[in-house]
Amino acid sequence: MIIDRDAALSALIPHVAERDIVVAVYQSCFDWLQLNPRDLNYVAVGAMGQASSHGLGLALANPDRRVIILDGDGSLLMNLGALVTIANAGVTNLYHFLAANRVYEVNGAHPLPGADRVDFVGFARSAGYAGSQSFGELDLFTEALPYILAAPGPQFVSMEVRPGQSYPRDYDYIHSAQARQTFRAALNRG
C-alpha cells in the first residue's frame, strides 16, 4: 500500500514541538510549508542530497532540540554516505523521514535507478541507525509516530508515498535570504 504524501506529513504535524527543527527538501518541503508553515522550518537546502547533512549539522549544534529531516528518495540517493556519517555521529535527536516515491519528482518524475530494488530502510539499518522502518499504511504510520519520535535517534522512517495535493513550488522563497533570516532569528530566540 501507499500513503498520500500530504496525509503522511499532516499526521506528523501534531508531533512536531515548537522547538523542533524541521529540515525539508524539494517536494516534501513545498508540501510541508503549505501544511505547517513555521519559523523553525529550515529550507535553505540548495543542493540535492544535502538535507541529511544539514540536518546532522543542526542536530550536533542543537542537542537540546529534535531535528526532523523530511527527505526525498531521489535526494538521499545523491548522498547515501550521509547515512553512515549520521549513524556514527552519536546524535540521539535526529529523526530522518524519507518520502519514497521512486522518482525524481520535482525534476520531471524521472525514475530512480534501481527504483524497484533499492532498500533505503536496509541502507539505514546497515549504516547503524538506532531504528529503521518503512510504512505504506497511514493508520500504522500515525500509530507509530509517538514511539518513533520518543525513541533515541537516529531514527529512519521510509514513507512509501504518492503525491498528494499539488502545492506551489516556491523556489524563490526556499532559496531566499528571507527564509534563512527567519530561521536564524527563530533559532536564536531559543
Instruction: Tell me the pairing of strands 110-111 and 67-72.
Output: unpaired
CB-CB contact of 118 with 112 (8 Å) = yes
**Per-residue pLDDT at 135:** 97
Rounded to the nearest integer, the mean pLDDT of the chain is 89
**Per-residue pLDDT at 101:** 80
The number of domains in the chain is 1
Boundaries of domain holding 20? 3-188
Amino acid, single-letter form, for residue 74? G
* CATH code, domain with 139: 3.40.50.970
**pLDDT-wise least confident of 75-79, 83-87, 91-95:** 75-79
In tens, the pLDDT along 140-164 reads 999 999 999 999 999 999 999 877 6
**Per-residue pLDDT at 104:** 56
Query: Would you say residue 109 has pLDDT above 70?
Result: no
CB-CB contact of 59 with 52 (8 Å) = no
Cα 71 to Cα 96, 107, 155, distances in angstroms: 7, 15, 13
Higher pLDDT, residue 82 or 116: 82
